[in-house]
Structure 1
Amino acid sequence: MPQKDPCQKQACAIQKCLQANKYIESRCEDVIRAMRMCCEHAGENSICCSGFAREQKSTEPKIPGAP
């Protein structure tokens, strides 16, 4: 039996919150924050976090003059 994803509960909570709030992300900041915290701890052990890791890198502030 495959092991359950450590952040699946948080990923489902995000989907439920977004659906209930007509996909307005600002209304789900607390569950999104919980998912980020889970992903920080679970890292690559969570398939659910793969999109969060990519998203976080693309939203980091750019440093002027950096490649």
Structure 2
Amino acid sequence: MPQKDPCQKQACAIQKCLQANKYIESLCEDVIQAMRKCCEVHAGENSVCCSGFAKEHKATDTRTVV
């Protein structure tokens, strides 16, 4: 039996919040942030839920700090 995705709970919370708020992302920033944190914690694991967040995180890491 496959293991449950470690961030599935947060992914479901995002969907629930977006549906309740007519897909206005700014009203769900707290649950989106919780998903980002979960994905950071479970970065080395094979999480389908985090696939988009992992790409987003890598894109922001390419900035150069002066």
2:49 alignment partner, SS class? helix
Amino acid at match of 2:52: G
1:34 to 2:34 alignment = yes
Superposition TM-score, scaled by structure 1 size: 0.81
Listed as ranges, the gaps of 5+ residues in structure 1 are none
Deviation at 1:53, TM superposition (A): 1.2
> Following superposition, which runs of at least 4 residues in structure 1 exceed 3 angstroms of deviation?
none
Q: Which has the larger radius of gyration?
A: 1
1:47 to 2:41 alignment = no
Deviation at 1:55, TM superposition (A): 2.2
**Identity rate, percent:** 74
Superposition TM-score, scaled by structure 2 size: 0.83
The aligned length equals 62
